[in-house]
Amino acid sequence: MNAAHSADPAELDRSQLHRTAAALVAPGKGVLAADESVATITQRLEALGVESTAETRRRYRELLLGAPRIDSHVSGVILYDETLRQAATDGTPFPELLASRGILAGIKVDTGAKPLAGAPGETVTEGLDGLRERIAEYRDLGASFAKWRAVLSIGPGRPSRPCVVANAHALARYAALCQEGGLVPIVEPEVLMDGDHDLDRCGRVTTTVLRAVFDQLHGAGVDLRAIVLKPSMVLPGSGAEPAEVAAVADATLRCLRDTVPASVPGIAFLSGGQGSRLATEHLHAIASLGPHPWAVTFSYGRALQDDALRTWRGEPANVGTARSVLLRRVRCSGAAALGSYSPAMEAA
Ligand code: 13P
């Protein structure tokens, strides 16, 4: 077949998705998750005594998105609906600001974890209704990737099989819709740290969850080369004895090698409430055990933002320092993704 005949629009779209997925996990780069819902960011702002209004949220997000030099370590930023529609103080729409810096704009498209009928204490993530139309609108607004977070908890009898299957099924339907509409789906099944379970239990649960997720992705015809997986690391519960960094890296990789096909271009971990340094050390240890079949990197929310947010505290005079704090975190995380982080970088 000659070149003219092979230029099928569907194929071109597909290869664009492959390029976007690869760009999100490019060497030494990762994703800044800044897609907190209004309710979640309001809690975080109010905890620091900052009033949460559309304008304070806009100013905080401008601090993040406009931080000098983060583009060397950040491939993409996940935004919430409100933020995708906001603009910098000079009027530049946020997606345009990111594009001008070579950073991809992403959008959280799920509408949250809701109680799952028949499974007390468990949730299923919702947001499939009208998703095809929202994806089209988000594309028009400048998004090139999306995210959907499923939440699984560990406890007596949890996660239940119905909870695992319902969440995996929803993730697969979301991923198929994203690819049809031209967005790369970040597939995020989070196994929460809450509880007093040990590392092994978390490993077994995470393995079960990821198997179910890939079963459903296959069943839905999702192109694995055009997704990014965003899992939690394998960790002991927050109420249990902490594990050594090396043990976490080992358990996490054992689980991922057993479950994640090599056709997936990259794995971008969430931080899940680990402190920022620990999240960096864990990623460094995981990357150092490579080479791996897929890229490994970060898609952290709290582990990248917490220090910067505390430094800012809503004060315009603190924007510069807060941006330096953010830059240090993304630089350390980018180095960790290459296995070249050292604690000395924290002082830089
Ligand atoms: P954390 O890194 O704070 O867990 O946030 C990542 C995220 O996107 C949660 O959905």
Mean pLDDT computed over 73-84: 98
Structure confidence at residue 1 as a pLDDT band (50, 70, 90)? very low
Mean pLDDT computed over 79-99: 98
Q: Chain-wide mean pLDDT for the chain?
A: 97
Q: Are 226 and 179 in contact (CB under 8 A)?
A: yes
State how far Cα 73 lies from the chain centre. Answer: 15
Structure confidence at residue 4 as a pLDDT band (50, 70, 90)? very low
Distance CA 29, CA 298 (A): 8
11 Cα: distance to centroid of ligand 1 (angstroms): 32
> Which ligand 1 atom sits closest to the C-alpha of 300?
2
The range of the structural domain enclosing residue 37 comes to 3-347
> Which ligand 1 atom sits closest to the C-alpha of 279?
2
Q: Are 302 and 271 in contact (CB under 8 A)?
A: yes
Q: Are 216 and 169 in contact (CB under 8 A)?
A: yes
Residue nearest to atom 4 of ligand 1 (CA): 272
Which pLDDT value is given to residue 170?
A: 99
Distance CA 23, CA 249 (A): 24
Whether 188 is catalytic? yes
Q: Which residues line ligand 1 (CB under 6 A)?
A: 33, 149, 188, 270-272, 300-303
Q: Is the pLDDT of residue 262 over 70?
A: yes
Q: Which of 29, 108, 147, 230 is catalytic?
A: 230
Structure confidence at residue 6 as a pLDDT band (50, 70, 90)? low
303 Cα: distance to centroid of ligand 1 (angstroms): 8
Instruction: List the CATH number of the domain containing 51.
Output: 3.20.20.70
Distance CA 308, CA 67 (A): 11
Structure confidence at residue 3 as a pLDDT band (50, 70, 90)? very low
Q: Six-digit token pair at 171?
A: 């993730």
20 Cα: distance to centroid of ligand 1 (angstroms): 21
> Which ligand 1 atom sits closest to the C-alpha of 35?
8
Q: Six-digit token pair at 148?
A: 């959907």
Tell me: the pLDDT tens digits for 267-323? 999 999 999 999 999 999 999 999 999 999 999 999 999 999 999 999 999 999 999
Q: What is the number of domains present in the chain?
A: 1
Mean pLDDT computed over 52-77: 98
Residue nearest to atom 5 of ligand 1 (CA): 301
Tell me: the pLDDT tens digits for 98-144? 999 999 999 999 999 999 999 999 999 999 999 999 999 999 999 99
Q: Is 102 left (phi over 0), alpha (psi -120 to 50) or beta?
A: left
Q: Among residues of the chain, what percentage have pLDDT more than 90?
A: 96
Distance CA 348, CA 345 (A): 5
